[in-house]
């Protein structure tokens, strides 16, 4: 059953990456300015050289040809060249991925710790003032654009990971707080408390197993949120990661680079969601 589930996820993953790639390639092909090249404006180039540049682009006119030749190159490890940065896309991604990974891991870790700590303490304390303060804090953070948080983190000299955490935290907190408060008001939890069970035992033996699948679902989604937040954070905090690369590619309309980053980001978010779904399935299987 588990193998079937994993195989299903892998199939969906491959299909979405292929279709998503085709969609991106189509958009790139149809985007205004696809046929133009800044180099053609170079007065040092001869008419023959400009003609050669035109000819090099002619073969990309057919969308399917463009996509399949692109996929063929990808399968051979060649992700093409970035027009704007004049470097192989593969090198750019390899150099920048560790920064983004570190940023995402630290940001997500901080966000989850803060969200779980606050929502747990709110559920335990049952103090309306504390609950209102933490809700107001998360509500205010939800009203701030991610890019503003990035600018404020630069102003206050705060690490980018903290800015990612502040963007992801309120979404996790709202969900976790609702789950925990609902869970703590269930009859069997109230009975366990009345019988004198310790808070730790109630939490790990009765509450966590009940809410684990939902928390795992939001864990998958939180990766997607963090990846989205990485763009403004890296762009505005000057962190040389994939998010900054995506922003630079967008500003320079470096379409080959954008297509590759799109596919990479799709893969990462889908893997995170599929991973969360498979673990959630395993947890539910163990329970039943």
Partner 1 sequence: MNLWRKLACALLAIVLCASAAANWLAPEGYARQDREAISVPPSRAHWLGTDELGRDRFARVLYGTRISLLLAPAAALLSTLMAALIGGLAGYLGGVWARMAMAVTDLFLSLPWLFLLITTRALMPLNVSPLFSVIVTFLLLGLLGWTTAARILCATAASLRTADFVRQARAAGVRGQRLFWIHVMPNLKPVLYAQFWISIPVFILSEANLGILGLGVAEPMPSWGSLLKELEGLVSVGEEPWKFVPLALLVLVVMSFQFLLSNQEEVAA
Listed ranges 20-28, 37-45, 74-82, 120-128: which one lies at the site for partner 1 (CB under 8 A): 20-28
Can residue 57 be called a binding residue for partner 1 (CB under 8 A)?
Answer: no
Listed ranges 18-26, 88-96, 97-105, 198-206: which one lies at the site for partner 1 (CB under 8 A): 18-26
Separation in Å, CA 70 to CA 14, 30, 76, 264: 16, 16, 10, 15
Listed ranges 38-46, 106-114, 126-134, 221-229: which one lies at the site for partner 1 (CB under 8 A): 221-229
Which residues does 103 contact at the CB level (< 8 Å), separation at least 6?
A: 160, 161, 164, 230, 233, 234, 239, 241
Residue with tokens 């996929």, as numbered in its chain:
71
Q: Which is nearer to partner 1, 51 or 178 (CB)?
A: 178
Separation in Å, CA 115 to CA 98, 177, 226, 228, 239: 25, 8, 14, 19, 25
Residue with tokens 């963090």, as numbered in its chain:
226
Q: From the CB of 167, what's the least distance to partner 1, in Å?
A: 10
Can residue 137 be called a binding residue for partner 1 (CB under 8 A)?
Answer: no
Task: State the DSSP H helix or E strand holding residue 247, giving kind and residue range, or none if neither.
Answer: helix 242-252
Q: How far apart are the first and last CA of the chain?
A: 14
C-alpha dihedral sign at 118, 121, 122, 127 = negative
Which residues does 94 contact at the CB level (< 8 Å), separation at least 6?
A: none
Q: Which is nearer to partner 1, 102 or 253 (CB)?
A: 253
Binding residues for partner 1 restricted to 144-163, rule: CB under 8 A: 144-148, 151-152, 155-156
Binding residues for partner 1 restricted to 228-287, rule: CB under 8 A: 228-229, 231-232, 235-236, 246-247, 249-251, 253, 255, 258, 261-262, 265-266, 269-270, 273
Which residues in this chain contact partner 1 in the complex, by CB under 8 A?
Answer: 16, 19-20, 23-24, 27-28, 31-33, 139-140, 142-148, 151-152, 155-156, 224-225, 227-229, 231-232, 235-236, 246-247, 249-251, 253, 255, 258, 261-262, 265-266, 269-270, 273
């Amino acid at each position: 059953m588990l193998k079937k589930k994993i195989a299903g996820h892998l199939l969906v993953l491959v299909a979405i990456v292929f279709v998503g790639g085709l969609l991106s390639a189509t958009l790139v092909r149809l985007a205004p300015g696809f046929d133009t090249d800044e180099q053609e404006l170079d007065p040092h180039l001869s008419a023959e050289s400009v003609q050669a540049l035109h000819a090099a682009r002619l073969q990309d006119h057919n969308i399917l040809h463009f996509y399949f030749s692109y996929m063929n190159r990808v399968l051979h490890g060649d992700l093409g060249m970035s027009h704007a940065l004049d470097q192989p896309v593969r090198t750019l991604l390899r150099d920048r991925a560790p920064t983004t990974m570190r940023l995402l891991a630290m940001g997500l870790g901080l966000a989850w710790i803060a969200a779980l700590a606050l929502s747990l303490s709110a559920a335990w304390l049952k103090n309306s003032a504390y609950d209102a303060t933490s809700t107001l804090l998360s509500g205010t953070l939800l009203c701030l654009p991610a890019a503003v948080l990035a600018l404020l983190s630069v102003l206050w000299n705060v690490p980018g990971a903290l800015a990612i955490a502040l963007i992801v935290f309120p979404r996790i907190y709202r969900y976790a707080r609702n789950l925990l408060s609902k869970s703590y008001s269930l009859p069997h939890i109230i009975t366990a408390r009345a019988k004198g069970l310790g808070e730790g035992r109630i939490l790990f033996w009765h509450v966590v197993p009940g809410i684990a699948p939902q928390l795992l679902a939001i864990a998958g989604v939180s990766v997607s949120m963090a990846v989205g937040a990485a763009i403004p954070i890296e762009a505005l905090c000057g962190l040389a990661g994939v998010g900054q690369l995506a922003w630079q590619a967008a500003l320079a309309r470096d379409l080959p680079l954008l297509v590759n980053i799109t596919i990479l980001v799709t893969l990462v978010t889908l893997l995170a969601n599929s991973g969360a779904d498979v673990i959630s399935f395993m947890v539910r299987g163990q329970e039943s």
